Amino acid sequence: MAAGADVTGWKTGDAVTFDSTVYCGQCYFCRHGQINLCDHRRVLGVSCEAYRQHGAMADYVAVPQHILYRLPAGLGFERAAMVEALSVAFHSVQRTPLALDSTAVVMGTGMIGLLIVQVLRYAGCRRIIAVDLDARRLELARQLGADQVLKSDADDVIAEVMRATDQRGADAAFEVVGIRQR
Ligand SMILES: [Zn+2]
Protein backbone atom coordinates (compact mmCIF):
# COMPACT_ATOMS: atom_id res chain seq x y z
CA MET A 1 0.00 0.00 0.00
CA ALA A 2 1.06 3.53 -0.66
CA ALA A 3 -0.35 7.03 -0.58
CA GLY A 4 0.15 9.46 -3.46
CA ALA A 5 2.12 12.67 -3.02
CA ASP A 6 -0.99 14.89 -2.82
CA VAL A 7 -2.92 12.66 -0.41
CA THR A 8 -3.85 14.33 2.86
CA GLY A 9 -5.55 12.77 5.86
CA TRP A 10 -4.63 9.22 4.95
CA LYS A 11 -1.43 7.32 5.39
CA THR A 12 0.07 4.04 4.34
CA GLY A 13 -1.34 1.25 6.46
CA ASP A 14 -4.73 2.87 7.15
CA ALA A 15 -7.52 0.30 6.92
CA VAL A 16 -10.00 1.60 4.39
CA THR A 17 -12.77 0.66 2.04
CA PHE A 18 -14.13 2.76 -0.79
CA ASP A 19 -17.26 3.65 -2.66
CA SER A 20 -16.87 1.94 -6.02
CA THR A 21 -18.03 5.05 -7.87
CA VAL A 22 -15.19 7.39 -8.77
CA TYR A 23 -16.96 10.72 -9.20
CA CYS A 24 -15.69 14.14 -10.21
CA GLY A 25 -17.25 16.35 -7.54
CA GLN A 26 -17.63 19.19 -10.05
CA CYS A 27 -20.48 18.40 -12.43
CA TYR A 28 -24.19 19.25 -12.04
CA PHE A 29 -25.05 15.87 -10.49
CA CYS A 30 -22.11 15.83 -8.08
CA ARG A 31 -23.00 19.34 -6.89
CA HIS A 32 -26.53 18.07 -6.19
CA GLY A 33 -25.32 15.10 -4.17
CA GLN A 34 -26.17 12.60 -6.91
CA ILE A 35 -22.70 11.23 -7.37
CA ASN A 36 -24.08 8.00 -8.80
CA LEU A 37 -25.13 10.04 -11.84
CA CYS A 38 -21.84 11.95 -12.21
CA ASP A 39 -21.17 12.91 -15.83
CA HIS A 40 -17.60 11.65 -15.54
CA ARG A 41 -18.08 8.66 -13.28
CA ARG A 42 -16.13 5.44 -13.41
CA VAL A 43 -17.29 2.45 -11.40
CA LEU A 44 -14.69 -0.06 -10.29
CA GLY A 45 -15.53 -3.56 -11.39
CA VAL A 46 -18.38 -2.50 -13.66
CA SER A 47 -17.93 -3.35 -17.29
CA CYS A 48 -20.66 -1.46 -19.13
CA GLU A 49 -19.22 0.89 -21.73
CA ALA A 50 -20.37 4.18 -20.19
CA TYR A 51 -18.39 3.98 -16.95
CA ARG A 52 -16.10 0.99 -17.26
CA GLN A 53 -13.23 0.73 -14.80
CA HIS A 54 -11.09 -2.26 -13.93
CA GLY A 55 -12.14 -3.88 -10.68
CA ALA A 56 -10.30 -4.77 -7.52
CA MET A 57 -9.48 -8.41 -8.33
CA ALA A 58 -5.84 -7.38 -8.41
CA ASP A 59 -2.95 -7.18 -5.98
CA TYR A 60 -3.13 -3.39 -6.00
CA VAL A 61 -5.73 -0.88 -7.04
CA ALA A 62 -5.41 2.92 -7.07
CA VAL A 63 -8.40 5.05 -6.08
CA PRO A 64 -8.73 8.79 -5.33
CA GLN A 65 -8.82 9.71 -1.66
CA HIS A 66 -12.28 11.30 -1.80
CA ILE A 67 -13.97 7.91 -2.18
CA LEU A 68 -12.24 6.35 0.84
CA TYR A 69 -13.93 5.40 4.10
CA ARG A 70 -11.99 4.53 7.21
CA LEU A 71 -12.72 1.08 8.64
CA PRO A 72 -13.49 0.90 12.33
CA ALA A 73 -10.84 -0.74 14.50
CA GLY A 74 -11.45 -4.45 14.88
CA LEU A 75 -13.40 -4.92 11.67
CA GLY A 76 -11.64 -7.62 9.67
CA PHE A 77 -11.08 -7.26 5.94
CA GLU A 78 -13.30 -10.27 5.21
CA ARG A 79 -16.27 -8.48 6.76
CA ALA A 80 -15.22 -5.10 5.45
CA ALA A 81 -15.39 -6.55 1.94
CA MET A 82 -19.17 -6.76 2.40
CA VAL A 83 -19.64 -3.09 3.31
CA GLU A 84 -20.42 -1.87 -0.20
CA ALA A 85 -22.80 -4.74 -0.96
CA LEU A 86 -24.57 -4.38 2.38
CA SER A 87 -24.87 -0.64 1.76
CA VAL A 88 -26.76 -1.38 -1.45
CA ALA A 89 -29.20 -3.54 0.52
CA PHE A 90 -29.62 -0.99 3.32
CA HIS A 91 -30.12 1.85 0.86
CA SER A 92 -32.74 0.03 -1.18
CA VAL A 93 -34.74 -0.97 1.90
CA GLN A 94 -34.40 2.49 3.41
CA ARG A 95 -35.88 4.08 0.28
CA THR A 96 -38.88 1.75 0.33
CA PRO A 97 -41.99 2.64 2.33
CA LEU A 98 -42.56 -0.37 4.60
CA ALA A 99 -44.78 -1.00 7.58
CA LEU A 100 -44.58 -3.71 10.21
CA ASP A 101 -47.31 -5.65 8.40
CA SER A 102 -45.74 -5.32 4.96
CA THR A 103 -45.16 -8.15 2.57
CA ALA A 104 -42.06 -7.76 0.43
CA VAL A 105 -41.02 -9.85 -2.55
CA VAL A 106 -37.33 -10.19 -3.33
CA MET A 107 -36.76 -11.25 -6.93
CA GLY A 108 -33.32 -12.82 -7.06
CA THR A 109 -31.30 -14.37 -4.24
CA GLY A 110 -27.76 -13.61 -5.30
CA MET A 111 -25.56 -11.85 -2.79
CA ILE A 112 -27.47 -8.56 -2.87
CA GLY A 113 -30.84 -10.31 -2.80
CA LEU A 114 -29.84 -12.35 0.25
CA LEU A 115 -28.61 -9.20 1.97
CA ILE A 116 -31.92 -7.47 1.21
CA VAL A 117 -33.78 -10.42 2.77
CA GLN A 118 -31.74 -9.96 5.95
CA VAL A 119 -32.18 -6.18 6.02
CA LEU A 120 -35.94 -6.55 5.50
CA ARG A 121 -36.03 -8.92 8.45
CA TYR A 122 -34.05 -6.44 10.48
CA ALA A 123 -36.42 -3.62 9.39
CA GLY A 124 -39.39 -5.53 10.78
CA CYS A 125 -41.09 -6.50 7.54
CA ARG A 126 -43.82 -9.03 8.32
CA ARG A 127 -43.59 -11.38 5.38
CA ILE A 128 -40.67 -11.82 3.00
CA ILE A 129 -41.06 -13.87 -0.16
CA ALA A 130 -37.89 -14.75 -2.03
CA VAL A 131 -37.92 -15.79 -5.68
CA ASP A 132 -35.14 -17.44 -7.67
CA LEU A 133 -34.39 -20.27 -10.09
CA ASP A 134 -31.77 -21.88 -7.86
CA ALA A 135 -33.11 -24.12 -5.09
CA ARG A 136 -29.88 -23.85 -3.07
CA ARG A 137 -30.07 -20.07 -3.07
CA LEU A 138 -33.71 -20.26 -2.02
CA GLU A 139 -32.79 -22.51 0.87
CA LEU A 140 -30.19 -19.96 1.94
CA ALA A 141 -32.83 -17.23 1.65
CA ARG A 142 -35.07 -19.22 3.95
CA GLN A 143 -32.26 -19.69 6.49
CA LEU A 144 -31.54 -15.97 6.37
CA GLY A 145 -35.09 -14.84 7.00
CA ALA A 146 -37.40 -15.42 4.04
CA ASP A 147 -40.81 -16.72 5.15
CA GLN A 148 -41.68 -18.19 1.80
CA VAL A 149 -39.54 -19.11 -1.21
CA LEU A 150 -40.73 -19.55 -4.76
CA LYS A 151 -38.89 -21.23 -7.60
CA SER A 152 -39.74 -19.12 -10.59
CA ASP A 153 -39.57 -21.96 -13.14
CA ALA A 154 -41.76 -24.24 -11.05
CA ASP A 155 -44.13 -22.06 -9.03
CA ASP A 156 -46.71 -19.62 -10.33
CA VAL A 157 -45.07 -16.64 -8.65
CA ILE A 158 -47.84 -14.11 -9.22
CA ALA A 159 -50.55 -16.51 -8.07
CA GLU A 160 -48.56 -17.47 -4.96
CA VAL A 161 -47.86 -13.85 -4.01
CA MET A 162 -51.54 -12.99 -4.49
CA ARG A 163 -52.52 -15.98 -2.38
CA ALA A 164 -50.11 -14.97 0.39
CA THR A 165 -51.54 -11.44 0.49
CA ASP A 166 -55.30 -12.09 0.36
CA GLN A 167 -55.21 -11.11 -3.33
CA ARG A 168 -53.84 -7.63 -2.58
CA GLY A 169 -50.36 -8.18 -3.95
CA ALA A 170 -47.11 -7.38 -2.21
CA ASP A 171 -46.52 -4.00 -0.60
CA ALA A 172 -43.03 -3.83 -2.03
CA ALA A 173 -40.99 -5.74 -4.56
CA PHE A 174 -37.22 -5.67 -5.01
CA GLU A 175 -35.82 -6.53 -8.42
CA VAL A 176 -32.36 -7.91 -7.68
CA VAL A 177 -31.64 -9.83 -10.85
CA GLY A 178 -30.67 -7.04 -13.18
CA ILE A 179 -31.33 -8.70 -16.52
CA ARG A 180 -33.89 -7.62 -19.05
CA GLN A 181 -36.95 -9.76 -19.41
CA ARG A 182 -37.13 -11.36 -22.82
ZN1 LIG B 1 -19.46 14.59 -11.30
Average pLDDT per block of 10 residues along the chain, 182 residues long: 89 91 96 94 85 85 93 93 92 94 96 97 95 97 98 96 96 90 66
- pLDDT for 181 equals 67
Is there a single domain that holds both residue 70 and residue 101? no
Residue 5 belongs to some domain of the structure:
no
CA of 8 to the centre of ligand 1 (A): 21
- Which residues constitute the domain of residue 94? 87-175
Residue 170's alpha-carbon distances to 103, 104, 126, 174, in angstroms, are 5, 6, 11, 10
Looking at residue 55, its pLDDT comes to 83
Say which residues have a Cβ less than 8 Å from residue 13's Cβ, sequence separation at least 6.
1
Distance 78 CA to ligand 1 centre (A): 30
pLDDT of amino acid 130:
98
What separation in Å is there between the alpha carbon of 116 and the centre of ligand 1?
A: 28
160 C-alpha vs ligand 1 centroid, how far in Å?
44
Number of domains in the chain: 2
Pick the last residue of a domain from 80, 101, 127.
80
Co-location of 29 and 47 in the same domain: yes
Does 164 fall in a domain? yes
Q: Is residue 113 part of a domain?
A: yes
Report CA(48)–ligand 1 centroid distance (Å): 18
CA distance 119 to 65: 29
pLDDT of residue 182: 65
Residues 99 and 66 in one domain: no
Whether residues 22 and 99 share a domain: the answer is: no
CA of 41 to the centre of ligand 1 (A): 6
